[in-house]
Amino acid sequence: MSFFSKLLKFGSHNMAIDLGTANTLVYVQDQGVVLNEPSVVAIETINGIKKVRAVGDDAKMMMGKTPDSIEAIRPLRDGVIADIEVAEHMIKHFIQKVHGRKSLFSYPEIVICVPSGSTSVERRAIRDAASNAGASEVYLILEPMAAAIGADMPVTEPIGSMVVDIGGGTTEVAVLSLRGLAYTTSVRVGGDKMDEAIVSYVRRHHNLLIGEATAERIKKDFGVAKKPADGEGVSIQIKGRDLVNGVPKEITINQAQIAEALAEPISTIVEGVRIALENTAPELAADIVDQGIVLTGGGALIAGLDEFIREETGLPVTVAEDPLSCVAIGTGRAMEEPIFRGVLHTA
């Protein structure tokens, strides 16, 4: 390899991007995941003119605490691109952040993971954003495929397997075989709906108003899919604003109550799994009985969710090793390993 081509190769940091509704992860060839930040953009409006104030970690810290002039936006919140312009800005920001100043020598290939339910207009917008940020080639990969590769499932073989990726805005359920998606369905329920369910439970049962960030913390630390065996589980204190007299107050709830709050969003996810199973060809369904279901995405970390889905479906259910990074790792491997080239799309 000549010095110059070495230099080019050194500079050409091919990237794989998991553009999630809650988190964006960037994987760099031969390095792995180098960036993991919330998919949030803070926009300030001054005299009717909008300006980006912060992206990622900095923007998420502002959520729920911004003055009227600043708005923290999650451009992909429900799994579709609610705001294409803001989404493009965010993609460019993250690519440039990873890319740094090496751009003079590098023309990277970028593989971006998109929801299986995204429209062609949305996919084009995502492609354009990556091109505008300096990518020489942009490839797309469907999220369930990336999740399955990241979870080491046998996607290149003639064996049916099922992945359930529970993200912030959506849950994608897919049956895969021979590098393709044999069936896929997307439910608009994920971690966000669980947070909202906790907010509304606390409001209804305790007249206490809490923010979504508080609800998310409760869910991550104490969320359970099933009532604890002792009937109550751990008790925790929650602070918020009393709806009756308007002052700050603290209440106590236990994990059984959190399970009750989460029951509805979780049953919607299970329903999605059931529909996918009903629509799966018999030969593939037979494989799933052996292979089981693999859970990925942050929502897979709810304690006892695997067991709950196992009980509801009668199938083996496992949680992928690193559910929050699965999609990014799978997108990265699809970019790096020739065996997966067939799963990349150009549009």
Q: Is 302 in the site for ligand ADP (CB under 6 A)?
A: yes
- Planar angle of CA 34, 64, 218, nearest 5 degrees: 75
Nearer to Mg ion by Cβ, of 177 and 296: the residue is 296
Residue span binding ligand ADP (CB under 6 A) among the ranges 49-57, 185-193, 230-238, 334-342: 185-193
Residue 141 partner contact from ligand ADP, Mg ion, none using kind-dependent CB cut-offs of 5 to 8 Å = none
From the CA atom positions of the chain, what is the Rg in Å? Answer: 21
How many angstroms separate the CA atoms of 31 and 13, rounded? Answer: 9
Question: Which residues have a Cβ under 8 Å from the Cβ of 72 and sit 6 or more positions away?
Answer: 40, 41, 42, 43, 59, 60, 62, 63, 64, 66
Question: Which residues have a Cβ under 8 Å from the Cβ of 62 and sit 6 or more positions away?
Answer: 42, 53, 54, 70, 72
CB of 172 to Mg ion, least distance (A): 8
Q: Is 192 in the site for ligand ADP (CB under 6 A)?
A: yes
To the nearest 10°, report the CA torsion of 21, 26, 32, 33. Answer: -60
Strand partners, 113: 18, 141
How many angstroms separate the CA atoms of 273 and 270, rounded? Answer: 5
- Judged by CB under 6 A, the residue of 299, 304, 330, 332 near ligand ADP is 299
Residue 184 partner contact from ligand ADP, Mg ion, none using kind-dependent CB cut-offs of 5 to 8 Å = none
- Judged by CB under 5 A, the residue of 79, 108, 167, 240 near Mg ion is 167
Instruction: Measure Cα distances from 255 to 43, 191, 213, 222, 231 in Å.
Output: 37, 17, 18, 7, 9
Residue 163 partner contact from Mg ion, ligand ADP, none using kind-dependent CB cut-offs of 5 to 8 Å = none
How many angstroms separate the CA atoms of 234 and 284, rounded? Answer: 41
How many angstroms separate the CA atoms of 59 and 53, rounded? Answer: 8
- Judged by CB under 6 A, the residue of 144, 297, 304, 332 near ligand ADP is 297
Residue span binding ligand ADP (CB under 6 A) among the ranges 5-13, 189-197, 265-273, 306-314: 189-197
By CB under 6 A, what part of segment 144-173 binds ligand ADP? 167-169
Q: Is 327 in the site for Mg ion (CB under 5 A)?
A: yes
Nearer to ligand ADP by Cβ, of 297 and 332: the residue is 297
How many angstroms separate the CA atoms of 182 and 173, rounded? Answer: 11
Nearer to Mg ion by Cβ, of 172 and 306: the residue is 172
- From the list 96, 108, 19, 123, the residue with the least C-alpha distance to 346 is 123
Nearer to ligand ADP by Cβ, of 76 and 284: the residue is 76
CB of 269 to ligand ADP, least distance (A): 12
Token pair 């002052």 is at which residue?
Answer: 247
Residue span binding ligand ADP (CB under 6 A) among the ranges 246-254, 292-300, 313-321, 328-336: 292-300
Nearer to ligand ADP by Cβ, of 175 and 198: the residue is 198
CB of 308 to ligand ADP, least distance (A): 13
132, two tokens: 């505008």
Instruction: Measure Cα distances from 29 to 92, 174, 184, 318, 322 in Å.
Output: 18, 27, 28, 28, 19
Q: What does the per-residue mask of binding to ligand ADP show for 204-233, with x meaning CB under 6 A?
A: ------------x--xx--x----------
Residue 202 partner contact from ligand ADP, Mg ion, none using kind-dependent CB cut-offs of 5 to 8 Å = none
List residues binding Mg ion (CB under 5 A).
Answer: 20, 167, 327
List residues binding ligand ADP (CB under 6 A).
Answer: 20-23, 167-169, 190-192, 216, 219-220, 223, 297-299, 301-302, 324
